[in-house]
Amino acid sequence: MKRRSLLLGSGGALLLGLFGPSGALSVAAVRVWPANDYTRVTIEHDSKTLAFKTSLLTSPDRLVVDLEGLQLSPMLKELVARIQPNDPFIAQVRVGQYQTNTVRLVFDLKQGIRPQVFTLEPVGLYQHRLVIDLYPTQEVDPLLAFLQSYEQDRLQSGKAAPPEEPPKQAAQAGPSETKPSPAPGGKKPTVSRLVTIALDPGHGGEDPGAVGKGGTREKDVVLRIARLLKTELDSQPGVRTYLTRDGDYFVPLGRRVEKARRVGADLMVSIHADAWVSPKAKGSSVYVLSQRGATSAAARWMAQKENSSDAIGGIKLGSGDQQLQQTLLDMSTTAQIKDSLKLGNAVLRHIKGVNELHKQQVEQAGFAVLKAPDIPSILVETAFISNPEEEKRLRDMRYQQEMARALRRGIVQYLEQNPPLSKSRLM
């Protein structure tokens, strides 16, 4: 018998899997990632021959998944303990040996769901995976959820609501076409409505991002910085923020762009932590989109690494949603890139006071998450997590707060110099 251990994130646990005789199918790990949008269950195993069948039952609502060619093992039984009481979709799961070579999983549900069950080939540190995604029958509307959350926070804080207009339509003119001319005498135009900023912590869930030598995971660090930045920006008059993810779960790249557009974001800031093949690489960087190729070999490599998130996190290819997201990603405009460069330069000027810069100028490459056609978007690499010294800084709460404040100052400076016009009212 051969033993294998795997350290999991907040959605999982430290599990030990026992491998059976050579050639026998065995389960290496089981993970559960609950979120408001959907809950993901992942079964990692060592064979591409795993077959499965699913049945969706009602009265009460249940999802049945039969795993063929398996014997019930302690690893699969661990799934029962992985279900959290606050999971929006799963009340409990029952696991048993249904037939001689079939293990049955029965998910008792809290609401009706739309399941997506699919397999993933080995990638990165993962072996074969069976993914069970449980979506609500009524899709969560990002805008409605955002407005409800914003209103609740506003009432709790006792703040008066600033002037607001409905979010812009997807078909409106590009960003540069909506900018007002400078006021006479060089005075800055006044912003007379709420500005919505989408903050995008990279990676999450099945995708840990880069991992430092000390075990620091990119997905954890950038979520903490994004939350600190949200607090910083929410304290600014006339500014509200939206997190594309606010927990340890996976969000596909196209979905991040779609969420930002659906809440009517005026800006999008994606937050990451660099990794490089050499531990000597250091410094912070800011990237914007390029439609003509990367400005450096390093920028091209970084974009390829970040764009691999979907393969690692796991998405079901070929679905209608995926085709729609790809269409959005192909719509990026020259105007968006022009405004993104202005935003990127403003941010770069401020973060150099917190950490030295890896490059003294904003770089460009084909980052998928920056392709919202009508939203100035930047990707900030806060430091090199692959550098032992910078990994320590990334784990330090004081550095995280300083980085968040520097990002806030850069964003506010951009807004002061480039205030957005009132959004077109929806018909």
Spelled out in words, what is the top-level CATH class assigned to the domain 142-417? Answer: alpha beta
* Arithmetic mean of pLDDT over the chain: 84
Q: Smallest Cα–Cα separation from 149: which of 412, 424, 140?
A: 140
pLDDT band at 95 (very low <50, low <70, confident <90, very high): very high
When pLDDT is averaged across residues 320-345 and rounded to a whole number, the result is 74
Residues 398-421: tens digit of each pLDDT? 999 999 999 999 999 999 999 886
pLDDT for position 41: 97
What is the per-residue pLDDT for 328? Answer: 54
> Domain spanning 2-136: which CATH class is it, in words?
mainly beta
Residue 324 predicted with pLDDT over 70: no
The answer to whether 66 and 60 have CB atoms below 8 angstroms apart is: no
Q: Where are the domains of the chain?
A: 2-136, 142-417
Contact 39, 132 (CB under 8 A): no
The whole-number pLDDT of residue 331 equals 58
Flag the least confident range among 102-106, 278-282, 399-403.
Answer: 278-282
Helix (H) / strand (E) element for 239: namely strand 239-243
Tell me the C-alpha distance between 176 and 184, whole Å: 19
State the Cα–Cα distance between residues 162 and 195, nearest whole angstrom: 10
Omega of the bond prior to 373 within 30 degrees of 0, cis? no
Does 21 score more than 60 pLDDT? no
- Higher-pLDDT residue of 283 and 25 is 283
**Taking the chain, what is the end-to-end CA distance rounded to the nearest angstrom?**
66
**So what's the pLDDT on residue 301?**
85
For range 330-348, the mean pLDDT: 88
Element (H, E) at 130: strand 128-136
Residue 9: its pLDDT value, please?
A: 36
Cα(310)–Cα(411) distance, integer angstroms: 28
Say what percent of the chain tops pLDDT 90. Answer: 63
Which of 79-83, 188-192, 335-339, 381-385 has the least mean pLDDT?
188-192
Residue 350 has a pLDDT of 97
When pLDDT is averaged across residues 308-319 and rounded to a whole number, the result is 83
In sequence order, which ranges of 158-283 are alpha helices (DSSP H)?
218-234, 253-262
Interacting residues of 252 by C-beta distance below 8 A, sequence separation 6+: 309, 310, 313, 315, 322, 325
